[in-house]
Amino acid sequence: MSMDSLQAMRMMRSMHRGDNSVVDRQLPPGTWHRVLRFARPYRMDLLVFLGIVIADALIGVATPVLAGRVVNEITGHGAVHVVVQIAFVIAGLAVIDALLSFAQRWYSARIGEGLIYDMRTSVFDHVQRMPLAFFTRTQTGALVSRLNNDVLGAQQAFTSTLSGLVSNVVSLVLTAAVMFSLSWQITALSLVMLPVFVIPARRIGARLQSITRESYNLNASMNSTMTERFNVAGALLVKLFGHPAAEDASFRARAARVRDIGVTSAMYGRAFFVALTLVASLAQALVYGLGGYYAIKGELSAGTVVTLALLLTRLYGPLTALSNARVDVMSALVSFDRVFEVLDLPPMIDDAADAIELPREAGSVEFIDVRFSYPTAREVSLASLEDVAVLDDAPSQEVLHGVTFLAQRGEMVALVGPSGAGKTTISQLVPRIYDVRSGQVLVGGHDVRTVTQQSLRDRIGVVSQEAHMFHDTIRGNLLYADPDASDEDLWRAITAAQIGELVAALPEGLDTLVGDRGYRLSGGEKARLAIARLLLKAPEIVILDEATAHLDSESEAAVQEALAQALAGRTSIVIAHRLSTILNADKVIVLDAGKIVEMGTHSELLAADGLYGELYRTQFERQAAGVEPLPR
């Protein structure tokens, strides 16, 4: 007896997925309803798909019956034209079955790929709207897994799991009905051997479940290691500390275990296939033996014996698969639930129902008694995405305490203070990276929570100390600020940022790849490219978070000149790192422990001889003498 090895391997996977944690998992109420809602756009395709599956199952049962009739005609010396007609019918069914196979695969792909598209785009769009705190807590690999593995698992619910369930039920019912109608004695005896296969197979499945889970964990660990070690910063750390041999040994140990598990898993799979083939062959031999006995005694026809033997091959497979159908269904539902878990996490920052467009001329920035604490884990994260059992319940400490100031249109306001004073936090509240807990942040007189996020961020440009670049060309990174910019616009921006000569000297020019996170550029070059991106956007409000910290004195002077021209008539909030920023500022705000402790011009604050005076003497005065500032 021969059996489709692919079908057998699918049953093997079904057997070793029999994880009690999956079967016993309590799904949230309404999961089924949400699953069906996702499938609603494909309901007609699903009905056609299921119809094809049922038709295919009917043909699978009809063919052995017709083969038995051929044998009866031959052994009974029947009419030749009847044999030929039946043969043509069998051939026709084979052709129809082949066409149905193509149709089934087309509908399966259409439904499956459509669901993958819908779910991935929904999750991707939702994740993009999550607050920054979500990304600071979440493991990137775990989040990517939701977009890949879990979405694929959910998709299988409507393709392999659904089609397999329907096909197996129809095949089993029809096959069993036909076999029992032909000879209930032989059918019953044939099924007696099923436990001989199922019981050992389940034990094999339990063992496979254990080693497969270990393999998944090891692969996830290796992927995490490769992600960390193969980015530029990780590779540099390994080289600087001189541990490549230790890293190699650690990786080899895990890879060797995965290799051994792969060999063991392959042998278990082969044992399952051989056992299923052997048991089904023994059962088929029983049919031939007992059926032949009844046929010789005249109680059965030869064709009936052949039909029973052929149908038996279609009985064991569905019985084995259906014995674990609940695990298959629950596995698919768990995948859906893990996707829904991400979609159900509400973004903390969203447009109000009556949000308005921020006027183009809006340029002032005002903080009114602003108090802020960072979101707690439960507000922005999931335990499964942090790889922890329970999220941290600790309340977040307030980091800004009643901050109030006004930056008029066109003013440059410098924020200074010791590390952890709240400077970067203030800069992130203006473009609504976070929302205040109490108080107001006004841009152009409008509370930022009452305007659309898109219009707000269109008016604001930010350059941070670690300017991020995508693994793209210089052109691609600049066009992120203005997709409609011409080459003339790009060159104007990079020339103003004092990086034009460097780009022009590159063999690929604007089409030069900057590498992962821009690591092919020096710190100063990357900072100037980020400033060029800012200049290209030409926003009304500019936030510089120590944007010139990586520039040498010559580059800084050139960029400061470009910024001075670009910032004319615009509001700018600058987290100061260089003395030049302090001297050029219209207002200096001194922060300490989340509070504004001093405010005024450079001269006024020096005369007051408070915290600013101390900071000036320990940091900025060294710059005035031509010495780099002390590390902070």
Q: Which of 319, 343, 367 is the last residue of a domain?
A: 343
Confidence (pLDDT) at 324: 64
pTM: 0.72
**Element spanning 213, H or E:** helix 194-230
Q: Residues 310, 423: one domain?
A: no
> Is residue 440 a part of any domain in this protein?
no
Q: What is the CATH number of the domain that holds 479?
A: 3.40.50.300
Tokens of 330: 């629950």
Q: Which of 283, 311, 343 is the last residue of a domain?
A: 343
> Is residue 545 a part of any domain in this protein?
yes
DSSP string for 346-377: --SS---TT-BPPPTT---EEEEEEEEEPPPH
The answer to whether 435 and 393 are in contact (CB under 8 A) is no
Confidence (pLDDT) at 366: 94
User: In a 10 Å sphere around its CB, with 0-12 CB exposed, 13-18 middle and 19+ buried, how is residue 545 labelled?
Assistant: buried
Name the 3-class secondary structure at 598. Answer: strand
Residue 494 φ/ψ, nearest 5 degrees: -70, -30
Tell me the CB-side half-sphere exposure of residue 439, using CA atoms within 13 A: 22
Where the chain has pLDDT below 70, the residues are 1-28, 194, 196-210, 212-213, 216-217, 220-221, 224, 227, 231-232, 236, 239-241, 323-328, 387-389, 547-566, 568, 577-580, 620-632
Q: Residues 609, 512: one domain?
A: yes
Q: Residues 221, 101: one domain?
A: yes
Q: Residues 158, 268: one domain?
A: yes
Q: Residues 11, 138: one domain?
A: yes
Confidence (pLDDT) at 8: 45
Tokens of 167: 């096909």
Q: Residues 147, 59: one domain?
A: yes
Which of 311, 394, 266 is CA-nearest to residue 65?
311
Q: Residues 316, 416: one domain?
A: no
User: In a 10 Å sphere around its CB, with 0-12 CB exposed, 13-18 middle and 19+ buried, how is residue 249 labelled?
Assistant: exposed
Q: Residues 455, 310: one domain?
A: no
Q: Do the strands 571-575 and 412-416 form a parallel or antiparallel pair, or are they unpaired?
A: parallel
Dump pLDDT digits (tens) for 431-471: 998 999 999 999 999 999 999 998 998 888 888 777 788 88
Q: Residues 74, 211: one domain?
A: yes
What spatial distance separates the first Cα and last Cα of the chain, rounded to whole Å? 77
The answer to whether 1 and 281 are in contact (CB under 8 A) is yes
Q: What does the alpha-carbon distance between residue 214 and residue 139 come to, in Å, rounded to a whole number? A: 20
The answer to whether 71 and 119 are in contact (CB under 8 A) is no
Q: What is the CATH number of the domain that holds 319?
A: 1.20.1560.10
Q: Residues 428, 431, 435, 438: what is their CA dihedral angle, to the nearest 10 degrees?
A: 90
Using N-to-C axis directions, what is the helix angle for 80-128 and 31-39, rounded to 10°? 110
Q: Which of 316, 343, 370 is the last residue of a domain?
A: 343
- Residue pointed to by tokens 């339990």: 206
Q: Which residues contact 572 (CB under 8 A, 6 or more apart)?
A: 411, 412, 413, 541, 542, 543, 544
Radius of gyration of the chain (CA): 35
Q: Do the strands 438-443 and 412-416 form a parallel or antiparallel pair, or are they unpaired?
A: unpaired
> Is residue 355 a part of any domain in this protein?
no
Q: Count the domains in the chain.
A: 2
> Is residue 133 a part of any domain in this protein?
yes
Q: How far is Cα of residue 53 from the mean position of the Cα atoms in its chain?
A: 32
Confidence (pLDDT) at 552: 64
Residue 470 sits in which domain range?
411-434+451-624
Q: Residues 318, 464: one domain?
A: no
Tokens of 41: 């756009």
Q: How far is Cα of residue 577 from the mean position of the Cα atoms in its chain?
A: 37
The answer to whether 519 and 232 are in contact (CB under 8 A) is yes
The answer to whether 459 and 465 are in contact (CB under 8 A) is no
User: In a 10 Å sphere around its CB, with 0-12 CB exposed, 13-18 middle and 19+ buried, how is residue 160 labelled?
Assistant: middle
> Is residue 364 a part of any domain in this protein?
no
Q: Residues 307, 422: one domain?
A: no
Number of other CB atoms surrounding residue 355 within 10 Å: 16
> Is residue 146 a part of any domain in this protein?
yes
> Is residue 207 a part of any domain in this protein?
yes
Confidence (pLDDT) at 173: 86
One-letter amino acid at 322 equals L
Confidence (pLDDT) at 600: 92
- Name the H helices within 538-610: 553-566, 579-584, 602-608
Confidence (pLDDT) at 19: 46
Q: Residues 468, 332: one domain?
A: no
Name the β-bridge partners of 589.
415, 599
> Is residue 358 a part of any domain in this protein?
no
